[in-house]
Every structure is written in structure tokens, then in C-alpha cells.
A and B are shown apart, each in its own frame.
Chain A
Amino acid sequence: MGAGHAHVLYRETDSPVHRLPPEVKIAAMVAFTIAVVATPREALWAFGAYALLVAAVAALARVTAGWLLLRSTIELPFVLFAVALPFIGAGERVDVAGVQLSVDGLYGAWNIVAKGTLGVWASLLLAATTSTRDLIVGLDRLRCPQILIQIATFMLRYLDVLVGEARRMRLARISRGDDPRFVWQLRGFAAGIGALFLRAFERGERVYLAMLSRGYTGRLPTVWQGSAAATTGQWLIAATVPVMAATVAATAAVLT
């Protein structure tokens, strides 16, 4: 099904985690992330416990540490800001290797990096064990608003079309002497993005008309959503991880 389709993150293997229905995995991932975010930042040990949980699930899902670490670099641009915090933070100062750092800033940076990383790991584990297709089915079963489901479905289908369009536009630009390696020629690229947006917009309109022509009334028929919905047992199995995380979070909240 959907062979070769934008499988950037999905890892085609078989594991107990892969076999779980998508909706329980999504719910578990969200619950886990909420527990992590709700944890007081001073409870350093709690984050260690979360990391262990992630490691256990990763081992079960046959996802290697290297794969996980390499892809978690996606968060770098977002946590870059955190690096500045210890220098610009106000309040009590602490001396680290001859540099005066703000204690509050250090905690702030830790808070962002630790929680961000754990959240990214949880999402990566979900993406590695669930095909994009199943993700959409799972969201639908969790009663996610139809409009979001549909946007996601189209994104899945049109990502390839848009990437193809962008590639053709780039080739056409290069053929006319544009050399995007030079920073001062980024103008062509930027204009290209604008054109691509317009094209995407116009295409969206045509796709919608074509769908209306085939009797679309605002709700996708759900007939092709293959596998059966999750059983209570599967919900319970998947619940172990977020329940443990919530316990850790609660303990940490009580202790600090």
C-alpha cells in the first residue's frame, strides 16, 4: 500500500510496536509528551527516567540509537535559542569554568533542550513505526477534525507532486544561467518559492473541483480504512509507557 510514498521516517520492519494500531500509538505519544512537559525542570532524575522509557520502546521497535540521534538534529534550530539563555538570564549567578552563568538561565536552557529532545524522540518513534497512511487513519479514529485529516491526506499525496514541480522549476532556472550556490543569486530561488506557492494554490483549486465532480460533499468516504480498530488489550499495552511517564511526572511534582 502506498509503496515508496514519502517514507522518509517510516522504517519498514516488523516489531510489537509496529503492530500496534496507529490510534493507540498516537495517544500514547501525546500523553507521554504531556507528562514530560508537565514535569518540573528541577527534577533532573525524572528526565533520565523518561530517556530510559524512550530507550526501552526504541529497543522494542528495533530503532537504533544512531538513527534516533541523527534525526533528532531536526530540533537544533529550535533549541539554538536555549544556548543563549545562561548568558543573558538574570538573577543568581554561578561560575562555570571561569564564565559567569545565570542559574535561572541554565535551568531554562535545560528545560527547553530536555523536554524538546524527549518530545522529538517520542514523535520519531511514532513516525518510525507507523506509516504516514496509518497515521491519518489513526487521527481519524481519534475523532480528529475532518478538515485536518483531509489536509494531511492531500499533503501526503501532493508532497510528491509539489516536490516534482519545485524540481522542474529549479532545473528551468538553472538552465537559464541561475547558479543558486551563490548567495546573491538566492533571489531566483525566493521568487521560485512564490511561484510554487501560487501553483500549489491553483492546483488546490483544480483538485477540489475534480473532487466535487466525483460527488465529494465534504467528508471522505471511510471505506478503505483497512485494519480493525484497536482492542482494549492494545490500548492497555500502549498505555504502559504514558502511565509510567505520568507516575514519574507526579512523583517529581510532589518531590520538588
Chain B
Amino acid sequence: MQPTPPSLDVRGVRYAYPDGHVALHGVDLTVTRGERVALLGPNGAGKTTLVLHLNGLLTPTEGHIAVGGLAVGPDRATLAEIRRRVGIVFQDPDDQLFLPTVAEDVAFGPANLGLRGPELTARVDEALAAVGMSEHRDRTPHHLSFGQRRRVAVATVLAMRPEILVLDEPSSNLDPAARRELAGILRTLPVTLLMVTHDLPYAFELCDRSVILDGGRIVADGPTPMLLDDEELLARHRLELPYPFRPTSGRTPTGQ
């Protein structure tokens, strides 16, 4: 039996924007099946650019990418399969949800894969159940809370049964409860996970392994607790743990 190919295999990916600005300087990253990896890095590090490469939305100037053993290529059939395998949840759920009801939006991906009728309905039900949004299936996405919209956005991608789920800043703009609920959902999903974030506690909570991308290069790769413990490494790449917040009685904001 052959060993399972890694869910994601990025080799020497370099990318220059049309204006000449180089966003990625040779990125190497392997994510094995079932792993949960946090991709950390400051704003402008190239995180989102890398994400857009994973399903062929951008084509690397150099290097190559394979998803579950299938190389990302320019022809239609390969791209269709790659886009099924890589489920990207974009940062702003309003960019992702564009159909009049939640159920229709979740059906969009699998319908593009050619599913019809009861099979399609089953996929939608399964994905909505996985994010706990089943009772909102006929509502308008716009009328849901932000946290609910993000959960629906996750469902729209889950419905395609991806090999790897890629989340771009999943915790941004969520209130603490919605943040915790989403973490609970993400932890139960039986998929490979790549989480792009600069929310370090969230990475610590969900991912055993972290990589730091800065200036278009992978500058660190290791177990999340180890990386987060290296204060100097974090500081060098504009990453910070939140201020240790220990409210004690008798202290006022001015410190008297």
C-alpha cells in the first residue's frame, strides 16, 4: 500500500505581482492528512497571497503545489478537482455568501460539482448540521449575526467535502462567545485544517503545529507551544501574545 500523500504540499513557491512586487520568496510547506496547522504572520506577510495559490486562484511564478497528491495545474478538470479538495473560507463572510438563502448558498459548491436532487439536499443538511446552523437554512444570510454568517461560510465549503479546510482569519470580528463556539465546531471537524491568523491564543487552542510566514518566507515551523514561548521570535515578526489580563480588585485603570 502506498503511503497517504500529504493533504498539502507546497514546494518553492515564489510569486511576484504583476507590478513587480514579490509577495512570496520560495515557500515550502507540507501539511499531512488530519493535521491542524496555524499559519501565523503579521499583516502584509503574504498569508492571503499564499492562500490564493492553494486552489489555483493565483499561479506561482516558480515552484509547485500539490493537494492530496494532485498537482495544481491550469487545465479545467484539474482545477475543478483542486477547488473541491481545498475549501477556502474567506475572511469576510459577506464575500462568500451571495445567494438569497443560507441553504442555496451552501448548495452552490456541491451543485457546481454536479450534485443534484436528494444527494445535494443531503450534503447541505450535513454541512449545516456540522456548524449548528440547520434551523436557519431558509433565512437570508444578511439577516444573520456575524458569527452565524461565518459559520454558514464554513458550511458552504464543508458541503464540498474538502481534503483540507483553509480558514482566513476565522476569529476576526467575532465576539468572545462566537469565537469560542467556532473553535468548538472547528475542533470537531474531521478534516485537515490550515488556519491563517494572527490571533495567537486561537492558534494555540486549535493547532498543534504552527508556521510563521514573514516577508514572503516561512521563518519558523514547529509545535505551537514552542513557537509561542519564543518571545524574541514573535517580536521579530510583529507577533504578540495578548496582554496578560488579570483583573484584580482594588485596581483602577489609572493604577491607583
Query: Is the CB–CB distance between A221 and B57 below 8 Å?
Result: no
Tally inter-chain residue pairs, CB-CB below 8 A.
91
Q: Which of the four size classes fits the interface of chain B?
A: 35 or more
Counting CB contacts under 8 A, is B156 at the interface? yes
A224 to B102, CA, bound (A): 12
**Binary flags per residue of B152-196, CB closer than 8 Å to A gives 1, else 0:** 000011001000000000000000000000000000000000000
Query: For chain A residues 169-228, which have a beta carbon within 8 Å of chain B?
Result: 203, 206-207, 209-217, 221, 223-224
The closest CB in chain A to the CB of B92 belongs to A206
Query: Is the CB–CB distance between A214 and B90 below 8 Å?
Result: no
Q: In the complex where A209-B52, A223-B120 touch, is A158 in contact with B101 (Cβ < 8 A)?
A: no
Counting CB contacts under 8 A, is B107 at the interface? yes
Query: Is the CB–CB distance between A213 and B57 below 8 Å?
Result: yes
Counting CB contacts under 8 A, is A77 at the interface? no
Q: Which of the four size classes fits the interface of chain A?
A: 20 to 34
Counting CB contacts under 8 A, is B224 at the interface? no
Counting CB contacts under 8 A, is B15 at the interface? no
A212 to B99, CA, bound (A): 15
Q: In the complex where A160-B142, A224-B107 touch, is A209 in contact with B112 (Cβ < 8 A)?
A: no
Residues of chain B within 8 A of A207, CB atoms compared: 95-96, 98
Interface on A for B, CB 8 Å cutoff?
Answer: 1-5, 133, 153-154, 156-158, 160-161, 164, 203, 206-207, 209-217, 221, 223-224
Residues of chain A within 8 A of B83, CB atoms compared: 212-215
The closest CB in chain A to the CB of B114 belongs to A221
A215 to B159, CA, bound (A): 12
**Other contacts beyond A213-B55, A214-B109: 12, CB < 8 A:** A5-B100, A5-B140, A154-B98, A158-B98, A164-B142, A207-B96, A209-B57, A213-B57, A214-B156, A216-B112, A217-B76, A223-B116
